[in-house]
Structure 1
Amino acid sequence: MSYLIPDTALSIAGLTDYIRLLLEQDEQLRQVWVTGEVSSANQHRSGLFFTLQDPDGSAAIKCVVWNSQLTKLAQIPIRGEQIIILGNIRVYPQRGEYQLTVWQVLPAGVGLQALRYQQLKNRLQEEGLFDVERKRSLPIHPQIIAVVTSPTAAAWGDIQKTLKQRYPGLHVLFSPATVQGEQAPASIVKAIARVERDNRAQVLILSRGGGSVEELACFNDERVVRAVADCPIPVITGIGHQRDESLVDLTADACVHTPTAAAELVVPALAELYAEHQERIAVLHDTMRIEMQTAGNKLQGMRDRLHRLRLDRQVQQEVLNLSWKRQQLIQVTTGRLQQATQHVELLRQKLTTLDPQAVLQRGYAVVKQENGAIARSATELELGQELSIQLAQGKVKVKITEVNG
């Protein structure tokens, strides 16, 4: 029996090439996201080869990450882990196989959330939103506080009860918000903005009770984190979880792990304040008593010392010494005054002897020429020259009529 081979029959290479063109030129397959579980992984010189399969094992696909791309992956494929990969389909004619050439690998499910959380945390940390220097101190005795939480949550009741017990009469401003679900981030941001516009609160509590990671996801939302960072008043977070801190906790000025703890932190207990006050009064009394006792002992010691020194005798002796020194001073001063008086009299007598007026009183006269010079020799004078004669009483002018040498 003979068979007629149709003209449309393809070779294996032709069929494989046709399949390659279909797969590699398909727009959907040039860049495709695929999720699955890594069933095997082998490192070769050229790259990392692994198999990705559905969790139930119903389907699998071979994948490769070339060495040039390995350092750029967010996560290295490891057997047994759920991942999401980005790549394109490639067909290998020699083996009649196709596989995914992988460009990027991300963790799936909880792992993806953790990756996004870490990336956002790193970015906010680089901006300085978690720096200790940014955190403000809480007011010691606030009179008005604001609370942002759900009006139906147990957290709001716990906070009210705690504040009433610890600090009766405190003014509490309640700004309701949704604290779970997709609408929670926007609702919390609006509630914080409402408190800011009111501009009365001195501190703000952002709180909710416990919950799963998914229920607390709103406290890792960037919008909520930035609203807390930009809030003009100190913020305390009291979110009911005991494991990892949320990004809002890291940004807030203070954080605790329960709504009740937040209420305890924001205000002191009046009973404790009263006890502390009484304790300070007791300490002050004891201190004053000790100080007065010490001062009294010191005063008595000085009295005893004065008594032992017999101060009255010392004063009498000092009075006698001063009296004796006074007499000595008077004697010395009197002697020096007499000496000075005698010296002055001697100088007066000398001055009297040298006084020209005294000579004139004895009958002598002073003859002066016209230029005021005193005439001492007849040879200096000429006939007809006028002279002035100073007498004891008055002056006379004369003219020379004769000169006798």
Structure 2
Amino acid sequence: MFHPQRKRPLPPHPQTVAVVTAPQGAAWGDIQRTLTQRYPGLRVLLSPATVQGRQAAGSIASAIARVQRDGRAEVVILARGGGASEDLECFNDERVVRAIATCTIPIIAGIGHQRDETLADLAADAVAHTPTAAAQMAVPTLASLYQQHRDRVAALQTAVERRFLYIRSHLERLRQRLEKLPQTSVSLQRANQKCQMLRQQLAAIDPHAVLQRGYAVVRLPDGAIVRQANTITPGQKLLIRFGDGQAKVIVTEIITPSQPPTSK
């Protein structure tokens, strides 16, 4: 029941706090005053108990169980003001220790003075050796919450400004690239014009286009092109390629530029 691993964490911003103490004791007044100053608007529930005498142990255990059944509290303060060691004996009772250990709600023990220590302190999830210190441990100050909020707002504003500067820089780089696009377009236009000119040149020397204009290609049976008349002989078979087809011919006569054709 005293092992550190079973200690439960305290809620950082509780909205409801239960207090187990004597309603007529000074501890209850100190706790109310401290909670009101630190965290205005907090809901405080009192589970009254006898904190001294023979009936105290059973009363404290019952008060803790009452808070457990109610279920509204997020943290419990078990408190008693200072006194003689005999007055705090009820906090060493097994019933109180077991009630603290089995409670599902975190419990802060604020019993006696700094020098006092009880088994209830060892079983509690957190220990503050006075009721006032227990109240301070239970809730943060509203001023600190306001400061945390301001810090978060400042951090968010800084992050937004950094993001804005990054986006503005990125847009500036894009703008500079867009300004260069006209020059790129001129270069692209010139390249297209050059490609068109080369395309026209290729079309002009295309052999098929030449044939379409009325020229023909003369080939030997083995496919070699005949380029000179003196390389063929009468009776030789040739293949003539036109723009729209081919013709097979037999050479009957070789005519040179200085020799007129024979009339037959």
Q: TM (normalized to structure 1)?
A: 0.46
Q: Distance in 2 between matches of 1:264 and 1:336?
A: 101
Output the amino acid matched with 1:143. Q
Q: 1:321 to 1:203 in 2, by over 3 A?
A: same
Counterpart of 1:281 in structure 2 is 153
Of stretches 187-196 and 234-243 in structure 1, the one that deviates more from structure 2 is: 234-243
Structure-to-structure mapping, 1:6-405, within 5 angstroms? 129-243=1-115, 245-297=117-169, 299-300=171-172, 303=175, 310-325=180-195
Output the amino acid matched with 1:229. A
CA deviations over 1:197-224 (Å, ceiling 9, x no partner): 2222222111111223222222222211
Indicate the SS of the match to 2:146.
helix
Indicate the SS of the match to 1:236.
strand
Q: Distance in 2 between matches of 1:174 and 1:313?
A: 81
Output the amino acid matched with 2:182. D
Indicate the SS of the match to 1:212.
coil
Indicate the SS of the match to 1:142.
coil
Output the amino acid matched with 1:271. A
1:161, distance to aligned residue in structure 2 (A): 0.7
1:144, distance to aligned residue in structure 2 (A): 1.9
Indicate the SS of the match to 1:224.
helix
Indicate the SS of the match to 2:109.
strand
Output the amino acid matched with 1:216. L
Q: Distance in 1 between matches of 2:69 and 2:109?
A: 20
Indicate the SS of the match to 1:151.
coil
**Count of aligned pairs:** 213
Q: Distance in 1 between matches of 2:207 and 2:68?
A: 94
The answer on whether the counterparts of 2:116 and 2:129 sit within 8 Å (CA) in structure 1 is no
Indicate the SS of the match to 2:46.
strand
Tell which has more relative contact order, 1 or 2 (C-alpha 8 A, sep 6+): 2
Q: Distance in 2 between matches of 1:322 and 1:227?
A: 90
1:160, distance to aligned residue in structure 2 (A): 0.7
Q: 1:270 to 1:134 in 2, by over 3 A?
A: same
Bigger-Rg structure (1/2): 1
Q: Distance in 1 between matches of 2:169 and 2:153?
A: 24
- For the aligned residue pairs, the C-alpha RMSD in angstroms reads 3.4
Q: Distance in 1 between matches of 2:202 and 2:83?
A: 107
Q: 1:179 to 1:330 in 2, by over 3 A?
A: farther
Q: Distance in 1 between matches of 2:55 and 2:105?
A: 24
Counterpart of 1:114 in structure 2 is none
- Higher strand residue share: 1
CA deviations over 1:305-339 (Å, ceiling 9, x no partner): 776xx44223321233245446767988996999x
Counterpart of 1:19 in structure 2 is none
Q: 1:193 to 1:318 in 2, by over 3 A?
A: same
Structure 2: runs of 5+ lacking an equivalent = 210-240, 248-264
Indicate the SS of the match to 1:214.
coil
